[in-house]
Structure 1
Amino acid sequence: MAVVTMKSLLESGVHFGHQVKRWDPRMKKYIFAERNGIHIIDLQKTITAIKDSYDQIRKVAASGKSVLFVGTKKQAQQAIQKEAERCGMFYVNNRWLGGTLTNFSTIKKSLLRLKKIEKMEIDGTFDNLTKKEVAGLLKEKEKLTKNYGGMKDMKELPGAIFIIDTHKEQIAVAEAHRMGIPIIAIVDTNCNPEGIDYPIPGNDDAIRAISLFTSIIANAVIEADNEQGLKIIETLGDEEDITTDASTKKEDEEIVDYSNYTPTETKEEDAEADKKDEQDLIDEDKVYNK
Structure 2
Amino acid sequence: MAKVEVKQLLEAGVHFGHLTRKWNPNMAPYIYMERNGIHVINLYKTVAKLDEANEALRKIAASGRKILFVATKKQAKDIVAEKVSNVNMPFITERWPGGMLTNFVTIRKAVKKMASIDRMKKDGTFLTLSKKERLQVDRLRAKLEKNLGSISEMTRLPGAIFIVDTMREHIAVKEAQKLNIPIFAMVDTNSDPRPIDFIIPANDDAGKSIEVIMGAVTEAVAEGLAERKAEKQGDKEGKEEAKPKEKAAAPKAEKEVKEKVEAAPAKEEPKKKAPAKVKADDLTKVEGIGPKAAEALVAASIATYADLAKAKPEAIKTILTDASPRLAHLEPASWPKQAKMAADGKWDELKEWQDNTKGGVEDSEE
Deviation at 1:121, TM superposition (A): 3.1
- Mapped to 2, the partners of 1:213 and 1:34 lie a distance apart of 23
- Which structure has more strand as a fraction of its residues? 1
Q: Which residue of 2 aligns with 1:94?
A: 94
Residues 98-247 of structure 1: pairs in structure 2 closer than 5 A = 98-224=98-224
Deviation at 1:213, TM superposition (A): 1.4
Unaligned runs of 5+ in 2: 228-366
Q: Which residue of 2 aligns with 1:5?
A: 5
- Mapped to 1, the partners of 2:99 and 2:56 lie a distance apart of 25
Aligned residues: 227
Q: Calculate the TM-score normalised by the size of structure 2.
A: 0.60
Q: For residues 205 and 122 of structure 1, do their structure 2 counterparts lie closer, same or farther at Cα, with a shift above 3 Å needed?
A: farther
Q: Does 1:33 align with 2:33?
A: yes
For 2:45, give the aligned amino acid: K
Deviation at 1:4, TM superposition (A): 1.8
Deviation at 1:117, TM superposition (A): 1.6
Deviation string, structure 1 residues 197-252 (Cα, Å, up to 9, x no partner): 0010000000111111112221111101668xxxxxxxxxxxxxxxxxxxxxxxxx
For 1:45, give the aligned amino acid: K
Residues 268-283 of structure 1: pairs in structure 2 closer than 5 A = none
Q: For residues 3 and 125 of structure 1, do their structure 2 counterparts lie closer, same or farther at Cα, with a shift above 3 Å needed?
A: farther
Q: CA-atom RMSD, angstroms?
A: 1.4
Q: Which residue of 2 aligns with 1:235?
A: none
Deviation at 1:125, TM superposition (A): 3.2
Considering Cα pairs closer than 8 Å and 6+ residues apart, tell me whether 1 or 2 has the greater RCO.
1
Q: 3-state SS of the aligned residue for 1:223?
A: helix
- Mapped to 2, the partners of 1:159 and 1:9 lie a distance apart of 28
Q: Which residue of 2 aligns with 1:75?
A: 75
Q: Which residue of 2 aligns with 1:64?
A: 64
Q: 3-state SS of the aligned residue for 2:194?
A: coil
- Mapped to 1, the partners of 2:13 and 2:43 lie a distance apart of 11
- Mapped to 1, the partners of 2:108 and 2:149 lie a distance apart of 12
Deviation string, structure 1 residues 137-161 (Cα, Å, up to 9, x no partner): 1110111112111111110000000
Deviation string, structure 1 residues 23-62 (Cα, Å, up to 9, x no partner): 1111111000011111000001100110110001011001
The answer as to whether partners of 2:3 and 2:51 remain within 8 angstroms in 1 is: no
Q: 3-state SS of the aligned residue for 2:4?
A: strand
Deviation at 1:116, TM superposition (A): 1.7
- Mapped to 2, the partners of 1:159 and 1:184 lie a distance apart of 11
- Mapped to 1, the partners of 2:124 and 2:78 lie a distance apart of 32
Deviation at 1:6, TM superposition (A): 2.2
Q: Calculate the TM-score normalised by the size of structure 1.
A: 0.75
- Which structure has more helix as a fraction of its residues? 2
Q: 3-state SS of the aligned residue for 1:4?
A: coil
Deviation at 1:84, TM superposition (A): 1.5
Q: 3-state SS of the aligned residue for 1:69?
A: strand
- Mapped to 1, the partners of 2:122 and 2:82 lie a distance apart of 25
Percent of residue pairs identical = 47
Q: For residues 131 and 225 of structure 1, do their structure 2 counterparts lie closer, same or farther at Cα, with a shift above 3 Å needed?
A: closer
Unaligned runs of 5+ in 1: 228-290
